Amino acid sequence: MLSFWFIFGLGVNEILVSVCLLFLSDCYFSC
């Protein structure tokens, strides 16, 4: 069960990083 939450946390963290990078790159090209 702990490993599940660990993997889930890693996945969420990866998604958040991807969204942040997309947002930053979008703002960079827009601004």
At 16 the pLDDT is 92
Distance of CA 3 to the CA centre of its chain: 19
Q: H or E stretch including 3? A: helix 2-30
Tally of domains in the chain: 1
Domain with 24 in it = 1-31
**Which tokens is 19 given?**
């969204």
1-31: pLDDT as tens digits: 678 888 888 888 899 999 999 998 887 777 6
pTM tops 0.85, yes or no: no
Q: Which amino acid is at 14?
A: E
